[in-house]
A and B are shown apart, each in its own frame.
Chain A
């Protein structure tokens, strides 16, 4: 399932009357990995939220496959193509890992318990299926959220700080997963303070320089 082309056109973002960036333009082809970089407060999360359609842009547009994602049929198509993992992971502390994933996937497409067990095993949480997430460490909760990347087959991933709280082995595994996903034609937009310089495929977008 290859992604279509994403065009960010002259995007301007304002928060509380303050301009974070102006005139941001960027084109992403299928199979590209874009790391949004910049100092704290540069608007990285805001850019991702605008891309996902959670926040309105002050000006400009985002196109996916040539159609605007901010309204109309393009928006519907974009929602069906997008997997957004926010800074807050949407993992409920009182629910178990399995219940969390069953619900988060059902918001889009229901998945079988077997698929959830496999995904949890793949992120190193075998045996934690029935453990309430509040009894897990921050890194394990992040892994529960990341298991969605294996369960929901979407061509575009938008990930806000996906490496937070992960140990080194998990960071490397996620990097490999992102690269493998890009090889199959998927597009990834992510923010992280963790350096991805050793991965030659990753494109950088520095918001500090756009503003």
Chain B
């Protein structure tokens, strides 16, 4: 069991290392959207600070969505998913590892960029750690929920990216509200533990239930 997890992480790593564009595109998108905002709305710190958390969260959400479309597609097209479904190892475990890798390559890298972009939006240093922690938890939820949509749309000919967005965006809204709510509280100096616990709840819920849904979605996709 441990061997297959290790091998899968290694395989995913090799795949993204050889196609760096797939990893870099969402990151560049994220950085560009946030960089353009101060240019468009002007450099006043008060205004930027008020918008900052919203802008960062929306950009992170859309960047994740952008990276999700191809999550299972190439494995579906070259027959890899058939082998996954037929493997004696549980499909839920395999997809969980795959999504974990996606989160490392998308969510975690976004979070690493965030302190710099937060400064650009005039966020005080004191709230940056809170922002990073909520984003870290939040992007995990985004990856897990998004993978359900990616699994359900995997068999659609001609790309299901529009359908994926329609399916998944409503599910992203609670994360968005909670994430920006945390930041508002932090900026006003209010306690944020409650928000963080709620976000952790969402992350645990997504972590425990979404692999089942992803695996079921992929089984349907493969059986078509």
A interface with B by C-beta (< 8 Å): 49, 52-56, 76, 79-80, 82, 84, 86-95, 99, 102-104, 106-108, 110, 132
CB <8 Å contact, B88 and A90:
no
Give A77 to B211 CA distance when docked, in angstroms. 24
User: Quick check: is B71 within 8 A (CB to CB) of the other chain?
Assistant: no
| Given A54-B82, A90-B79, A103-B11; 19 other pairs, CB 8 A cutoff | A76-B88, A79-B88, A84-B82, A86-B83, A88-B77, A89-B78, A89-B79, A90-B82, A91-B78, A92-B78, A93-B78, A94-B14, A95-B15, A99-B14, A103-B7, A106-B7, A106-B8, A107-B4, A107-B87
Give A36 to B88 CA distance when docked, in angstroms. 26
CB <8 Å contact, B223 and A54:
yes
Closest to A53 in B: B86
- 15 residue pairs of the A-B complex, CB under 8 angstroms, read A55-B223, A56-B223, A79-B86, A82-B86, A84-B82, A84-B83, A86-B83, A87-B79, A89-B78, A90-B80, A95-B15, A103-B11, A106-B7, A107-B84, A132-B18
What does DSSP make chain A's interface, helix, strand, loop or mixed? loop
Give A107 to B10 CA distance when docked, in angstroms. 13
B interface with A by C-beta (< 8 Å): 3-4, 7-8, 10-11, 14-15, 18-19, 74, 77-80, 82-89, 222-223
Task: Report if A86-B79 is in contact (Cβ < 8 Å); known contacts: A53-B86, A54-B223, A79-B87.
Answer: yes
CB <8 Å contact, B82 and A108:
no
Q: Specify which chain B residues have a CB less than 8 angstroms from the CB of A76 in the assembled complex.
A: 88
Give A5 to B86 CA distance when docked, in angstroms. 20
Give A210 to B196 CA distance when docked, in angstroms. 62
Give A90 to B4 CA distance when docked, in angstroms. 17
What does DSSP make chain B's interface, helix, strand, loop or mixed? helix
Closest to B82 in A: A86
CB <8 Å contact, B14 and A95:
yes
Give A86 to B195 CA distance when docked, in angstroms. 48
- Closest-CB distance, A183 to chain B (whole angstroms): 26
CB <8 Å contact, B7 and A110:
yes
Query: Which of A53, A88, A102 is the one whose CB lies under 8 Å from B7?
Result: A102
Give A54 to B87 CA distance when docked, in angstroms. 11
CB <8 Å contact, A104 and B83:
yes
Q: Specify which chain B residues have a CB less than 8 angstroms from the CB of A53 in the assembled complex.
A: 85-86
- Closest-CB distance, B196 to chain A (whole angstroms): 37
Give A92 to B18 CA distance when docked, in angstroms. 12
CB <8 Å contact, B15 and A80:
no
Give A82 to B223 CA distance when docked, in angstroms. 18
